[in-house]
Amino acid sequence: MRIIRDLEAAKSLLLERAQVELAGEAYETVQQILGEVRARGDSALFDYTREIDGVELARLEVTREEIAQSRNVAGKELVSALELAAERVRSFHVAQKRSLGLEFVEGGLGFLVRSLERVGIYVPGGKASYPSTVLMTAIPAGVAGVDEVVVTTPPAPDGTVPASTLVAADIAKVDRIFKVGGAQAVAAMAYGTESVPRVDKICGPGNVFVTLAKKQVYGIVGIDGLHGPTETVILADDSASPVLCAADLLAQAEHDEMASAILITTSPRMAGEVNEEVERQLAQLERQAIARQSLERNGVIVVVDNIDEAIELVNLYAPEHLCLAMRDARSYLDRIRHAGGIFIESPEALGDYTAGPSHVMPTGRTARFGSPLSVLDFLKVSILVDLDDEALKALGPAAATIARAEGLTAHALSVERRLEDLERGKPGK
């Protein structure tokens, strides 16, 4: 891994690494796919699945029989692990919803909280399966009270959806599952087709084409965010374990070639030992080639003079995952302004599967303004205004004055006529 010892050089590099280009040829390709699906519906979905995934489908929707058979195919050990993970995710989000306390009415004003009606969840797939993503997205939606949860995921080369994904969907009480991936899946959920229902919001991570599609359909539907390549920053002092730091960096790097694994440390010794340990552990990985390419392209070790500089870099980069491997780590929490998830004495990989909070988190510096997926993503607020005649008398004249200053006479008259009715003894509503 590349080692940097200059603070300003580190700042420039981290800002550069955080930028994800969402334009160019890929943007135009996605735009064309969206237009085709909107115009041709299911026919376009079948065509793109054949052309892009190399799969000829007879039908788009997964049957109840396929779901029912999935538990036997997946095996007891995996089913049990998924059930444990689901219970952890559900418990966390039930507690979160209980603690929100959003809805209130006071003095004729308030918030009314309502869940979304139908949500679409994109689950990456095709060559691999990600049942954890199903749990991390569908369960918070269910806890929030969403009426219908729809999942789209690319089919495997044999035209099926992996059993692990179907088991997770069944555990999470997903309503419908479709064998559609890529930008075409986002288009189907945004516009609706003969088979795929139109949703109110699309959630879940995907590749650059999925992200571009979500960006382009935003406004027609809601989205949870624009999820780019995954990223982890480990902030370590000389008390950290080089073996564990290397293991955590590799756990990030093996995701894909675009993943970013970054170590920021106050210890030159730690920088060297972690670098050596990364190379040693690489040889043990099944996805060694992917991890190596990720580290060569995006991996970096930054040596800083002190913790203040380290925290400055963290807040600048606003990482998806931040692991604190240092003395008195909890004492620094108040100084961490921007991070999707903060891990203390806990491997980030635990957060990917069984800790409880969703692993769908903001990337590409969007942790400066974004948050991990949660119950809040599936709730919306309506403002309630229910003021009585006394409030109308107190507030109406000022409202009319402001309206006339803005040249909106009808606004002013709407208030003034009610005030006149009150003077005549009529109700002001």
Is 320 part of the annotated catalytic residue set?
yes
pLDDT single digits (tens) 186-222: 999 999 999 999 999 999 999 889 999 999 999 999 9
Amino acid at position 367, single letter: A
Rounded Cα gap, residues 228 and 207, in angstroms: 7
* Mean pLDDT of the region 96-107: 89
Residues with Cβ within 8 Å of 344's Cβ and at least 6 positions away in sequence, in order, are 323, 324, 329, 330
**pLDDT for 228:** 83
Catalytic residue among 93, 227, 255, 321: 321
Encode pLDDT of 22-74 as tens digits.
667 888 999 999 999 999 999 999 999 999 999 999 999 999 999 999 999 99
**How does pLDDT run across 352-402, given as a tens digit for each residue?**
999 999 999 999 999 999 999 999 999 999 999 999 999 999 999 999 999
Active site residue 321: yes
Q: In angstroms, what CA-CA distances link 181 with 45, 60, 368?
A: 9, 11, 29
pLDDT value at residue 17: 75
Percent of the chain topping pLDDT 70 = 98
Give the chain's radius of gyration (CA, Å). 26
Question: How far is Cα 425 from Cα 429, in angstroms, rounded to an integer?
Answer: 12
Query: What is the average pLDDT across 112-140?
Result: 93
pLDDT of residue 425: 83
In whole numbers, what is the pLDDT of the chain averaged over residues? 94
Percent of the chain with pLDDT over 90: 90
Residue located via tokens 């409030």: 391
**How much is the pLDDT for 287?**
92
Query: Which domains, from first to last, does the chain contain?
Result: 2-20+229-355 (3.40.50.1980), 25-223 (3.40.50.1980), 388-423 (1.20.5.1300)
Q: Tell me how far apart the alpha carbons of residues 256 and 290 are, in angstroms, rounded to a whole number.
A: 6
- DSSP per position, 218-248: BTTBEES----S-EEEEEE-TTS-HHHHHHH
Neighbours of 406 (CB within 10 A): 10
Is the pLDDT at 429 greater than 90? The verdict is no
Given strand 379-385, what is the order of strands in its sheet? 104-106, 109-115, 379-385
Work out the average pLDDT over 146-154: 98
Catalytic residue among 255, 320, 338, 348: 320
